[in-house]
């Protein structure tokens, strides 16, 4: 079974430029998460999708970040414009439909963003 | 707000020795506690988890213990091997939901 796929793996951009990250979750997983991981820290949730609906985007800085999951499968996270402080690893995770609070989340390899 | 503290931040052990990583959580409603291993350049990988209705769980060389009263949970790795070297994260689910609160990680080095 293929895991969570993310691309690109690495991205270097100048500040004020836009950038987009793509995620393909595990087949059959209809819950998708985007996390931010700063150096030396644990992941922090940005947004959670159930199918195509963003059910929790309370941690997403909406002035510059946006996300979409149009068909309830792949997802894209965008930053426009990027700032120096956005340099981090952006992780995507997925899980099966939650039937209890014990949901296992499976992470992709992440996209390492460097903003110069 | 909810918080998960993790100690130590770095841990070096000799191959074959045991390693213990400890976490405390603040949200009494947390009922699911996963542990993730993250190798360099990779995403976190779930290695073991425990639910609040269980005090201990073991999977080969890895075990996790939970003390709900004290809001402590710990990861125990026995007979450590060089391939155990990685960063380990504990997490607790916030208010018993899908939202994980992660610890700050422990960098484990197993010296051959």
Rounded-to-integer distance, Cα A57 and Cα B50, Å: 27
How far is residue B77's CA from residue B85's CA, in Å, rounded to a whole number? 11
HSE toward the beta carbon, residue A94, CA cutoff 13 A: 22
Chain segment B21-73, per-residue pLDDT in tens: 999 999 999 999 999 999 998 999 999 999 988 899 999 999 999 999 999 99
pLDDT tens, B76-97? 999 999 999 999 999 999 887 8
Residue in chain A closest to B51 (alpha carbons) equals A102
Nearest CA among A108, A107, A61 for reference residue A82: A61
- Contact, B11 vs B106, CB < 8 A? yes
Nearest to A108 among B43, B98, B104 (CB): B43
Backbone angles phi, psi at B95, to 5 degrees: 55, 30
Q: Nearest by CB to A42, which of B49, B96, B104?
A: B104
pLDDT at A61 over 70: yes
Q: For residue B1, what are the contacts with CB-CB under 8 A and spacing of at least 6?
A: none
| d(CA A112, nearest CA chain B) in Å | 9
> Which of B32, B36, B45 is the closest to A102 by Cβ?
B32
Q: CB–CB of B93 and A98 under 8 A?
A: no
Q: B41 or A87: which carries more pLDDT confidence?
A: A87
pLDDT-based confidence at residue A84 (cuts at 50, 70, 90): very high
Q: Do A41 and B105 touch (CB under 8 A)?
A: yes
Least confident range from A31-40, A101-110, B82-91: namely A101-110
CA distance B68 to A52: 36
Could you count the other beta carbons within 10 Å of the beta carbon of residue A60? 19
């Amino acid at each position: 079974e293929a895991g969570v796929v993310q691309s690109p793996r690495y991205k270097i951009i100048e500040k004020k430029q836009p950038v987009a990250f793509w995620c393909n979750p595990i087949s059959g997983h209809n819950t998708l998460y985007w996390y931010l991981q700063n150096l030396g820290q644990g992941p922090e949730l940005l947004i959670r999708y159930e199918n195509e609906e963003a059910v929790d985007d309370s941690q997403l800085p909406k002035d510059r970040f946006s996300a979409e999951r149009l068909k309830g499968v792949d997802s894209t996270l965008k930053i426009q414009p990027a700032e120096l402080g956005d340099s981090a690893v952006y992780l995507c995770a997925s899980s099966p439909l939650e039937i209890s609070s014990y949901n296992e989340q499976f992470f992709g390899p992440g996209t390492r963003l460097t903003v110069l | 707000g909810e918080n998960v503290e993790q100690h130590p931040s770095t841990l070096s052990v000799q191959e074959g020795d045991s390693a213990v990583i400890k976490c405390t959580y603040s949200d009494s409603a947390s009922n699911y506690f996963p542990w993730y291993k993250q190798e360099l350049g990779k995403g976190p990988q779930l290695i073991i988890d425990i639910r609040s209705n269980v005090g201990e769980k073991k999977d080969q060389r890895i075990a996790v213990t939970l003390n709900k009263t004290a809001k402590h949970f710990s990861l125990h790795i026995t007979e450590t091997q060089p391939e155990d070297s990685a960063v380990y994260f504990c997490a607790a689910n916030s208010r018993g939901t899908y939202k994980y609160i992660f610890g700050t990680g422990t960098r484990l080095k197993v010296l051959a």
